Amino acid sequence: MQTQKLFHGGAIASLIWLIGWLVAWEIWIAPLHPGGSLLALKALPLLLPLRGVIKRDLYTLQWSSMVILLYFTEGVVRAWSDTSEASRMMALGEVALVCVYFACALLYLRPYKKAAQKLAKELLDKVKVPHD
């Protein structure tokens, strides 16, 4: 159970850190335009799952682990294509934070998934009709 707390804490921390990272990247560290960029708004969708992740909502953790892969894709593309060294480093940081969130979310969900599979198997075994 201690590892579950660790994975849950890691998911929360990496999600909050990622939101701050994206805003800092696009406003102060390496914005596309001097003075900041509206691209910082890309962090807003990450606020949607934050409450559910904090509350340990399994459904939110499941769907957010899929949505977060869009940020992985963006980070990889920008790490490959941006001309600014600072922007490339921020993109690699984004990729790392996404990977941490993804891993923590999946590892947190793993025991629940196994329990659900076991319960479903037991239920199916009970309702099986023998075929002649």
What per-residue confidence (pLDDT) applies to 5? Answer: 95
**Residue percentage of the chain with pLDDT more than 70:** 97
The torsion angles phi and psi of 36, rounded to 5 degrees, stand at 115, 165
Q: What is the pLDDT of residue 132?
A: 52
The torsion defined by the Cα of 105, 108, 112 and 114, in degrees rounded to 10, comes to 90
Q: Determine the average pLDDT of the residues in 58-65.
A: 97
The pLDDT value recorded for residue 34 is 83
Rounded distance, CA 60 to CA 46, Å? Answer: 11
Please say if the pLDDT value at position 2 is more than 60: yes
Closest CA to 45 of 27, 64, 31, 30: 64
